[in-house]
């Protein structure tokens, strides 16, 4: 970062500080500062700098001489990564480092349960501690901006409120159990294509209202100890040296007291990074090693700054007690208590989208059930690039069915299609042609087998979807169609036997046009962890009622989704004028954040977020674009009745809390959980708003016939907007409509109140 730029930004953004600490968070980590002063006073410059970069792939240095232990990182976010070689990406081949594979982010989010997120964090922390780790590289809480995003399965939701509640739960669960979190990837890492070069061009309001809230909530409400800076740039500055994000917002406004580590290989400078607030360069020492010592000696970085960065690391080190080497790795990482949590999360995450009376499965007279689809036996703990768990075990859907009803049904299986395997590696044209011919033959053979089985069965369980080679870190999907010709296969199956229940084990939205039409029931069962197959079988046979709700919208077609509809993604197609206009219309403060010499232009490395806050359902609702399945939707095996929506008052001041009550009754014959959702629509606002926004929700278990009165709260301050003119949160005191429903597309009750 050039000095001139720092000055421009500092001048423009000083007012931002004014909005600081709306909540006045003070990190508990500050309690260690006195003790830390004593430690720092004994350290040499070399020792200090030694703490500011990697020692090994997943370790950064302490100070042995002073009894300060190294910091050991456990890659997450959905299971503790196997023990790695100190300087490479290969595992060490241990036996005891087999961990529990927890359901991935979108599955956790589909529970709509902060309590589940808390338990999840508890389980992750216990396994991290068994392995002697201090900081878990998770939760991954970027907003799911594009349905094709390679890491949608790791991230939580398209909605900031749902993401925030879960991020807080996960963080508290981890940190209450002795480990630190590392919130990632801060910020705006919403695509994988070009993630290491892309520059996100975004206005302040969308950034504050949509993309930053999960990070803010986990810092302010759960005192998160760690943050990982993202690979990308935001408005011209790399995230690892982004003064606005790291210094002004994270530390000064939100009161973050912990340490920021770079994403692996995501550091780009010495002076800029250290001054903006990066604490540890991972997994190298290219910029924060000797180069930093040289910069201090040359007077470009003061020792005060070095001390501050060291202090922030030491705070975390003192808060998290190191585990002595002789105590770590004594037991198998995965243990029954954590496996139980994985089951519980999975069992609450499965989303039933359609059911024409075929579920729960009827098992009289030992029916023949044909399980068709390679996803029935596909392992989801690893595959593709990036996050993966060397899991102790993973119950696949086919195994789950055999476990639960192997004696009550005749289960027959056909693979149906050849699953996608790794997309990495290059092939010659001859190899490709040969593969194509072989594939045609296999496809024919697999289809025939599937059709034969289908003809014999009473019911077909088509188990398809993506897998970890399809949804992967490092690249986005090109489309959202079911891979491996699944649409064609299921069409053919339907001609032979229309009694189809489709289960998709995907972590992100798929195009459902074909499967939805030909299936009598349709479920999403995610990349659902160690116990995923058992949970799915329990739902299919009715041992439990499905109770997951979509954490994202499933569009009719990919092109309807906002970044695609506006031509913002994929980048490169975009007309240069659009960029020019955006920049000329943008508020001066934002404009000046954009590096002068990098005026945005049509370039695959410029990601324009001109949809602003209209992400996910906010776009579909506001623009009245029909969807396949709305955000928040999911059926159960029972029915619920919503009645008597009341508020404690009719008029609310800006510091009040709106208290809503609503009666919910299970009017069916089976126990089930309902997720009541409260959206807010503004009636006569002074600024533009999305048609509606999720502001409260509650997951409630109800026995048959049982009624409960739910109490939900919305602090009026949570209805503020980010005013780009004054760079502060501002009130839009207007009439609002409170909409209570079972999804963004199924509002049951409404009530108007006034904000004054
Ligand atoms: C990912 C991070 C991960 C790190 C270490 C990076 O490529 O973006 O999420 O924690 O690698 O494995």
- Ligand 1 neighbourhood includes 136 CB (under 6 angstroms): no
pLDDT of 422: 74
pLDDT value of position 576: 46
- The answer to which of 36-40, 272-276, 414-418, 434-438 has the lowest mean pLDDT is 434-438
Report pLDDT for 441. 83
Q: How confident is the model at residue 12 (pLDDT cuts 50, 70, 90)?
A: very low
Q: Which of 223, 263, 673, 732 is catalytic?
A: 263
| pLDDT for the residue numbered 581 | 53
- What's the gap in Å between 262 CA and the centre of ligand 1? 9
**Which residue lies with its CA nearest to atom 4 of ligand 1?**
264
> Is the N-terminal amide bond of 360 cis, ω within 30° of 0?
yes
pLDDT confidence bin for 648, thresholds 50/70/90: very high
Q: For the stretch 566-596, what's the b/e string if a residue is b when 16 or more beta carbons lie within 10 angstroms of its beta carbon?
A: bebbbbeebeeebbeebbeebbebbbbbbbe
Q: Is 61 a catalytic site residue? A: no
Q: What pLDDT is attached to residue 222?
A: 98
Instruction: Tell me the longest C-alpha to C-alpha distance in the chain.
Output: 83
Contact 755, 716 (CB under 8 A): yes
CA of 656 from ligand 1 middle (Å) equals 41
Q: Which of 37-46, 435-444, 619-628 has the lowest mean pLDDT?
A: 435-444
Per the prediction, the chain carries an average pLDDT of 93
Residue among 74, 75, 180, 382 to mutate when testing ligand 1 (max atoms within 8 A of CB): 75
Distance 755 CA to ligand 1 centre (A): 44
Q: Which residues contact 230 (CB under 8 A, 6 or more apart)?
A: 142, 184, 185, 186, 187, 188, 189, 195, 239, 263, 266
Q: Judge whether residue 77 has pLDDT over 90.
A: yes
At 582 the pLDDT is: 52
pLDDT at 557: 98
Ligand 1: nearest atom to the Cα of 184:
9
pLDDT at 586: 47
d(CA 452, CA 412): 11
Q: What pLDDT is recorded for position 473?
A: 95
- Tell me: pLDDT of 7 over 60: no
Give residue 421's pLDDT band: very low, low, confident or very high (50, 70, 90). Answer: confident
Q: Mind listing the pLDDT tens digit for each residue in 315-372? A: 999 999 999 999 999 999 999 999 999 999 999 999 999 999 999 999 999 999 999 9
Q: Which residues pair with 607 in a beta bridge?
A: 200
Mean pLDDT on 29-36: 98
How many A from CA of 304 to the centre of ligand 1?
A: 30
- Spell out the domains of the chain, with CATH numbers in brackets: 25-84+98-327 (3.20.20.300), 350-552 (3.40.50.1700), 640-755 (2.60.40.10)
Distance in Å, CA 264 to ligand 1 centroid: 6
Give the CB-side neighbour count of residue 142, counting CA atoms within 13 A: 24
| Residue 618 Cβ < 6 Å to ligand 1 | no
Looking at residue 24, its pLDDT comes to 63
**Cα end-to-end distance, the chain, whole Å:** 44
Q: 435: which DSSP letter?
A: H
What's the pTM value of the predicted model, to 2 decimals? Answer: 0.94
Query: In this predicted structure, what is the pLDDT of residue 14?
Result: 32
Closest-CA residue, ligand 1 atom 7, reads 264
Q: Please check whether residue 700 is in contact with residue 676, taking contact to mean a CB–CB distance below 8 angstroms.
A: yes
Atom of ligand 1 at shortest range from CA of 140:
9
Q: If pLDDT is split at 50, 70 and 90, which confidence band does 431 have?
A: confident
The answer to whether 112 and 699 have CB atoms below 8 angstroms apart is yes
The whole-angstrom separation of Cα 184 and Cα 226 is 9
Minimal-distance CA residue to ligand 1 atom 12:
75
Ligand 1 binding pocket includes 567 (Cβ within 6 Å): no
In terms of Cα–Cα distance, which of 386, 379, 530 is closest to 472? 386
Question: Considering only 104-113, 172-181, 381-390, 590-599, which range has the smallest mean pLDDT?
Answer: 590-599
pLDDT for position 587: 45
Q: Residues near 445 by Cβ (< 8 Å), separated by ≥ 6?
A: none
What would the pLDDT profile of 228-269 be if each residue is shown by its tens digit?
A: 999 999 999 999 999 999 999 999 999 999 999 999 999 999
What DSSP assignment string belongs to 674-738? EEEEEEEEESS-SS---S-EEEEEEEEEE-TT-EEEEEEEEEGGGG-EEETTTTEEE----EEEE
């Amino acid at each position: 970062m050039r000095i001139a730029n720092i000055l421009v930004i500092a001048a423009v953004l000083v007012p931002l500080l004014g909005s600081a600490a709306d909540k006045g968070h003070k990190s508990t980590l500050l309690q260690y500062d006195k003790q830390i002063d004593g430690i720092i006073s004994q350290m040499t410059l070399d020792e200090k700098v030694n703490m500011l970069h990697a020692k090994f792939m997943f370790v950064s240095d302490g100070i042995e001489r002073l009894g300060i232990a190294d910091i050991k990182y456990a890659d997450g976010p959905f299971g503790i990564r196997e023990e790695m070689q100190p300087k490479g990406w290969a595992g060490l081949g241990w036996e005891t480092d087999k961990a529990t594979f927890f359901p991935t982010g979108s599955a956790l989010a589909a529970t709509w349960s902060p309590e589940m997120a808390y338990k999840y964090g508890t389980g992750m922390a216990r396994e991290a501690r068994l392995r002697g780790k201090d900081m878990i590289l998770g939760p991954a809480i970027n907003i799911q901006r594009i349905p094709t995003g390679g890491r949608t399965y790791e991230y939580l939701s398209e909605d900031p409120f749902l993401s925030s509640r879960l991020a807080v739960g996960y963080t508290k669960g981890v940190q209450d159990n002795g480990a630190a979190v590392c919130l990632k990837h801060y910020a705006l890492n919403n695509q994988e294509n070009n993630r290491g070069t892309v520059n996100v061009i975004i206005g302040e309001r969308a950034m504050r209202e949509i993309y930053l809230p999960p990070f803010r909530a986990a810092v302010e409400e759960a005192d998160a100890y760690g943050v990982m800076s993202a690979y990308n740039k935001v408005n011209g500055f790399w995230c690892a040296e982004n003064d606005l994000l790291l210094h002004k917002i994270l530390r000064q406004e939100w009161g973050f007291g912990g340490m920021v580590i770079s994403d692996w290989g995501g550091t780009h400078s010495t002076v800029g990074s250290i001054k903006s607030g990066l604490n540890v360069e991972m997994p190298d020492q290219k910029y924060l090693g000797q180069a930093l010592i040289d910069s201090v000696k040359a007077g470009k970085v003061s020792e005060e700054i070095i001390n501050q960065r060291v202090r922030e690391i030491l705070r975390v080190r003192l808060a998290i007690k190191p585990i002595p080497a002789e105590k770590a790795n004594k037991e198998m990482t995965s243990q029954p208590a954590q496996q139980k949590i994985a089951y519980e999360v999975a069992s609450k995450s499965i989303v039933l989208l359609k059911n024409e009376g075929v579920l729960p499965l009827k098992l009289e007279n030992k029916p023949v059930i044909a399980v068709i689809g390679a996803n029935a036996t596909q392992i989801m703990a690893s595959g593709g690039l990036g996050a993966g768990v060397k899991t102790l075990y993973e119950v696949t859907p086919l195994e789950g069915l055999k476990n639960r009803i192997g004696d009550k049904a005749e289960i027959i299986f056909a693979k149906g299609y050849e699953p996608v395997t790794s997309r990495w590696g290059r092939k010659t044209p001859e190899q490709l042609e040969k593969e194509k011919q072989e594939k045609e033959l296999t496809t024919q053979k697999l289809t025939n087998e599937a059709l034969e089985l289908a003809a014999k069965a009473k019911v077909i369980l088509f188990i398809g979807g993506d897998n970890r080679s399809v949804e992967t870190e490092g690249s986005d999907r090109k489309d959202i169609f079911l891979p491996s010709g699944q649409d064609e296969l299921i069409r053919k199956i339907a001609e032979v036997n229309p009694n189809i229940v489709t289960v998709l084990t995907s972590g992100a939205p798929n195009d459902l046009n074909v499967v939805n039409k030909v299936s009598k029931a349709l479920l999403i069962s995610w990349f659902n962890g160690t116990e995923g197959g058992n949970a799915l079988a329990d739902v299919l046979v009715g041992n439990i009622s499905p109770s997951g709700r979509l954490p994202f919208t499933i569009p009719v077609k990919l092109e309807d989704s906002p970044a695609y509809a506006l031509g913002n993604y994929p980048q490169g197609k975009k007309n240069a004028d659009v960029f020019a206009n955006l920049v000329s219309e943008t508020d001066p403060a934002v404009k000046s954040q954009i590096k002068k010499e990098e005026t945005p232009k049509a370039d695959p490395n410029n990601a324009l977020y001109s949809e602003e806050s209209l992400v996910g359902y906010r776009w579909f609702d506001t623009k009245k674009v029909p969807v396949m399945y709305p955000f928040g939707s999911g059926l159960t095996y029972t029915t619920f009745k919503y009645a008597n929506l009341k508020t404690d008052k009719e008029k609310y001041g800006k510091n009040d809390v709106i208290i809503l009550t609503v009666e919910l009754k299970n009017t069916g014959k089976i126990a089930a959980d309902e997720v009541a959702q409260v959206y807010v629509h503004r009636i006569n606002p002074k600024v533009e708003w999305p048609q509606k926004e999720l502001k409260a929700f509650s997951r409630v278990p109800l026995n048959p016939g049982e009624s409960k009165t739910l109490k939900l709260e919305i602090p009026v301050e949570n209805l503020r907007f980010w005013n780009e003119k004054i760079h502060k949160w501002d009130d839009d005191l207007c009439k609002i409509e409170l909409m209570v429903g079972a999804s963004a597309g199924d509002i049951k009750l409404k009530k108007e109140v006034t904000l004054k």
